[in-house]
Chain A
Amino acid sequence: MMKRLITAFCILGIATFSVNAEDNIATLRGEEALNAEGSPPIIPKVLNTDKKRKRNYPMQPPTIPHKIANYQVDLRTNKCLSCHSRKRTEDSQAPMVSVTHYMDRDGNFLADVSPRRYFCNQCHVIQTDIKPLVENEFMDVDDLLRVKSPN
C-alpha cells in the first residue's frame, strides 16, 4: 500500500514538473507548434547614441554606445583599436582602452594591447532597443546596502 502511494506521488511529481518545463519552453518558442516554423522577431535596432552609460558595478566592462556592424577584429587588424588605442585617442577623441588591457597576466605593462585583451567583443557589447525576455532583478550595490541597513 505504502509503496503504491509513493509511486503514485512520484508519477504525479514528474508529471507536474514536465508540465512546468513545457511552459518554460513555450515562453521561449512562442505558441508555434514543434514542427512549424515561427516567424522570427524583428531584428532590433542597435543603440547609437554615443553617450557613455553607467556601469552597474565597478568592474563591469563598459557597453559600446555605438554601432559596430562589420568592424573587423582578427589576426590582421582591429577596427576598434583604430580609435580606442593609446596612439589614436588624440585624433579620435574616443576613450582609451583602460590600462589593464596593456598588462599581461602577471601585471607587467606591455607596449601594446595584450593579446589576451585583443578581442574586444569578448567583454564589450552593444545594446539594442528591446524589451528584455526575462525580468532583470539585478540590484546596484548601493541599493543593496540601503536595503540591508535601512537607516
Chain B
Amino acid sequence: MLKKIKFYWKVVRRPSTFYSLGFLTMGGFIMGIMFWGGFNTILEFTNTEEFCTGCHEMRDNVYQELQDTIHFNNASGVRAKCSDCHVPHDWTDKIARKMQASKEVWGKIFGTISTREKFQNKRRELAEHEWARLKANDSLECRNCHNFDYMDFTQQSKRAAEQHSTALAKGEKTCIDCHKGIAHQLPDMSGVEGWH
C-alpha cells in the first residue's frame, strides 16, 4: 500500500520522467477543455429560469410578480429572464456577482426569506441592493437590450421623450432612477429619492 502511494507520489511530482511531453501537453489540453467547459456549463445552469425558480423563495414571490409585467408578457415574445437583469454578462463581473451570490446560499440554508412575511420585511433591503448595483454600473443590464442611441424619441410618449432627451441624455439620471419596480413589486418607498 505504502509502496503504491510512494509510486503515485513520484509520478505526480515529476510526471515528465514517466510520460512523454506530447502526452502531457495533450492531456493538459483535453482536461483543460473538460474542466473549463464543465465549469461554464454549471455556471450557465445557475443562470437558467429553472434554477432560479427551483427555490420557493423565488418561485412564489418575485417570479409570480414578474409574470404580470411587460418583461415577461408582451406582444413581441421577447422575454427577459432572471439572469438577464440580475447577472452581469461580462465574465469578470459575472464571476464577482456569482461569488456574492454565495450569501444567497447562506440565506437559503438559514431561511432568511423562507416565508412571505419574512420576504416582505426584507424586500426594501433586497431592493436597495439591486438599485445600488444598477446605479453603480449605469444600469448596464437594462442597456444590454435598451440602447439609448437607438431610441426614437418621436415614437415615445411626450413625457417619456422629455425625460429621456434631457436627464438621461445628459447622464444625470440612469434607467433605474425612474424605472424602479418595473419587473417586481416595490417595497415601502418612503424616503427613496424620486418618490413621494
Assess whether A72 is interfacial by the CB under 8 Å rule. Answer: yes
| B126 CB → nearest A CB, Å | 14
Q: Chain B interface: which size bin?
A: 10 to 19
Asked if B196 and A88 make an inter-chain contact with CB atoms under 8 angstroms apart, the answer reads yes
Asked if A78 and B196 make an inter-chain contact with CB atoms under 8 angstroms apart, the answer reads yes
- Report whether over half of chain A's contact residues are helix, strand or loop; otherwise say mixed: loop
- Report whether over half of chain B's contact residues are helix, strand or loop; otherwise say mixed: loop
Assess whether B70 is interfacial by the CB under 8 Å rule. Answer: yes
- For A32-51 the 0/1 string (1 means CB < 8 A from B) is 00000000000000001010
Asked if A66 and B157 make an inter-chain contact with CB atoms under 8 angstroms apart, the answer reads yes
Asked if B188 and A76 make an inter-chain contact with CB atoms under 8 angstroms apart, the answer reads yes
Which residues 30-85 of A sit at the B interface, judged by CB distance below 8 A? 48, 50, 66-67, 69-70, 72, 76-79, 81-82, 85
Q: Chain A interface: which size bin?
A: 10 to 19
The complex places the Cα of A69 from the Cα of B70 at a distance, in Å, of: 9
6 contacts between A and B (CB under 8 A): A50-B157, A70-B68, A76-B188, A77-B189, A77-B195, A82-B195
Chain B interface (Cβ within 8 Å of chain A)? Answer: 68-70, 157-159, 181-182, 185-189, 194-196
